Structure 1
Amino acid sequence: MPIIGSTLKPFTSQAYKGGKFVQVTEADVAGKWAIFFFYPADFTFVCPTELEDMANLYGEFQKLGVEIYSVSTDTHFSHKAWHDSSPAIGKINYFMLGDPSGQITNNFGVMREGVGLADRGTFLVDPDGVIQYVEITSEGVGRNAAELLRKVKAAAYVRSHPGEVCPAKWEEGEKTLAPSLDLVGKI
């Protein structure tokens, strides 16, 4: 299972984005923030609610220079059919990566063994290709794009402000902490 601080592994995928099929590799991710948003399968129940939630905030992620890559073990053809038939999925403007071989899903360690489906996993990759955030939930528990956006802002802040950290519930513009011996036992 990938851990914080590990590096994005090589991959190649066919994706559906903007009405077209496109190829995506790890080279396309290099140099920018990226979210890999794994979900079990197209045409299911919790998945479209999560993907729509991400679609609704996609513009906010884009303003921060973050690209979103949703990933399931379905094909890019299935992604297009789902996009064309579901009002919720029809809102998606980010990449929908097909992973029928399981290469990407296995690279991130979220393949359900013997099932061929991805767990619900979220990974934030920094511009250097390093995983900075991981969240994996059970199949019945949906994720919150607004909370993910908050965490992306915190990760970007910490990256651009060495020596500072973001406390619990930190929101953009709030005070941060500068860890030091003087703070020990005073928080």
Structure 2
Amino acid sequence: MAGQSPRGSLLASGTVIAALISGVTALVTALLPWLLPEKSPTTVEPAAIVATREAPSTAGAPNLAIGTWTIVSSVDDAGNDYAGSTLRFLTQHELGDRVEASGFFEWRLGQEAIGREQVVATYDPATRQLFIEGKYTDNPEVLAPGSFSAELSDDGRQLLNGRWGNVPGERVGILGTWEARR
């Protein structure tokens, strides 16, 4: 910056600072809705009360997104053991009489991480059944998206009697069984 006037240097510094402030402001504006708690309505319309009474309740449904589910037993029909893999739900929301969650399996075969499978799950509180459908994998040469089911234990800490199969329209995988704990 030899030969640059002090005023030019000051203007360049001011421009950089203004750009940084603008970037931080944009970032805070983008993240703020997720950081603030949702406001509850102050008034309730009578129609909303009727709809609430008629809709099946998901009250008492577990929060599937708390913690990480560790696969403790997971063997496919070829004898491969996927114990030590994990299931993590990142989001969860109520859809009438059921709960929907999304997240991923982090699959391991023995001590080796073999890939991640993005999933969407539906939980039915009436039957305690969890249904999970794989959407895609990051390692399609090794992993095929699967279709999974399991029963949530009474304490909400275990997925029991799990089975998995194939997703229609995807590469065929090997069927198996699984259980998980958190």
TM-score interval (norm. to shorter): under 0.3
With structure 2 as the length reference, what TM-score do the two structures score?
Answer: 0.24
Structure of larger gyration radius: 2
With structure 1 as the length reference, what TM-score do the two structures score?
Answer: 0.23
Whichever structure has more helix as a proportion of its residues is 1
Higher relative contact order (CA 8 A, sep 6+): 1
Whichever structure has more strand as a proportion of its residues is 2
